[in-house]
């Protein structure tokens, strides 16, 4: 079974998003300042790759983002987050 371009782009985007989650978990858990900085730099590079792949996916119609949140939805989320759940 051959993979098409859409599958490859979406799979790449999914993989990069997973990497970003892992960096977000690792960075606050390390006490080594040099390692923390290295992880932050890697996360920055990963974010740039994610943005590039995301642009490609949107341009080609492979990814359609959800509708923008309403002001009421944004206010609700802010309220919940500020209350500490």
Render pLDDT for 35-59 as a digit per residue (tens, 0 to 9).
Answer: 999 999 999 999 999 999 999 999 9
Burial class (CB in 10 A: 0-12, 13-18, 19+), 53: buried
Buried b (16+ CB within 10 A) or exposed e, 59-71: eeebbeeeeeeee
Q: Are 53 and 16 in contact (CB under 8 A)?
A: yes
Identify the residue whose tokens are 């341009």: 59
pTM: 0.70
23: Cβ contacts below 8 Å, ≥ 6 apart: 39, 42, 43, 46
pLDDT at 51: 95
């Amino acid at each position: 079974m051959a993979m098409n371009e859409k599958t490859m782009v979406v799979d790449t985007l999914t993989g990069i998003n997973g990497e970003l989650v892992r960096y977000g978990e690792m960075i606050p858990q390390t006490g080594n300042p040099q390692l923390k900085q290295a992880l932050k730099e890697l996360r920055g590079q990963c974010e740039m790759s994610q943005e590039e792949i995301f642009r490609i996916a949107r341009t080609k119609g492979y990814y359609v983002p959800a509708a923008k949140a309403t002001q009421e939805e944004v206010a609700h989320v802010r309220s919940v987050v500020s209350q500490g759940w």
